[in-house]
Amino acid sequence: MNGPDADGGDVQALDPQQIETYFALTEAVSLLQHQVEQQLQAEGGISTVQFQVLGRLVGARGRATMTQLADGVVYSRSGLTYQAGLMERAGLITREASPDDERATLVAITDKGRALFERVLPGHIQVTRRMLIDPLSDEDIRRLGDIMTRARDHMRAQPPRSARRGRRTGSAS
């Protein structure tokens, strides 16, 4: 069954295999995210988003702008601002105005944040291995990586959420 899309044109229906694949993907992602969230809370008292922020900062040599982080972890600017406030109060990060762009906020990981990331990372790897890697062959992993990289790159070709205008206008983070 076809129906109108947001622009008024027809949308081609998904066939049963496409629907089954979509729901298998979303269910697998939800199950993995649930296990990861439980591990991060138990071992570090942090959320998945906070773990991703720390990981992005470690990968960015300790510093990034709020906009870079929001785009990297695919999170709203307002939501990330809230999470960053919690992380700053916990001593995991610092925030300051960027010396290069007065509109940008620069985020830096602290020694405490780096230590927390390094402490929870082994458990994160264990959960990821147990839930995702172990039941797949090396060939499955290679193929899944190729498929998901293509899908991600296609999705990333769209403008990032932080570039979209919201209802309110404000300064860039």
pLDDT at 54: 97
pLDDT above 90 for 7: no
**Does residue 6 belong to any structural domain of this protein?**
no
- pLDDT tens for 84-107 read 999 999 999 999 998 888 889 999
Neighbours of 82 (CB within 10 A): 13
Q: Does 3 fall in a domain?
A: no
CATH number at residue 77: 1.10.10.10
Tally of domains within the chain: 1
- Domain limits at 144? 16-157
**Predicted local distance difference test score (pLDDT) of residue 166:** 52
The kind and range of the H/E element at 122 are: helix 111-128
Q: Is residue 163 part of a domain?
A: no
Q: What is the pTM of this model?
A: 0.81
Q: Is residue 27 part of a domain?
A: yes
Query: Is there a domain that residue 144 lies in?
Result: yes
Would you say residue 164 has pLDDT above 60? Answer: no
Which helix (H) or strand (E) covers residue 58, if one does?
helix 48-59
pLDDT tens digits, one per residue of 9-46? 688 999 999 999 999 999 999 999 999 999 999 999 99
Is there a domain that residue 40 lies in? yes
Cβ(4)–Cβ(89) below 8 Å:
no
**Strands 93-97 and 105-109, bridge-based pairing:** antiparallel
Is 140 a member of any domain?
yes
Cβ atoms of residues 89 and 81 within 8 Å: no
Within-domain flag for 168: no
Please write the tens of the pLDDT for every residue from 107-147. 999 999 999 999 999 999 999 999 999 999 999 999 999 99
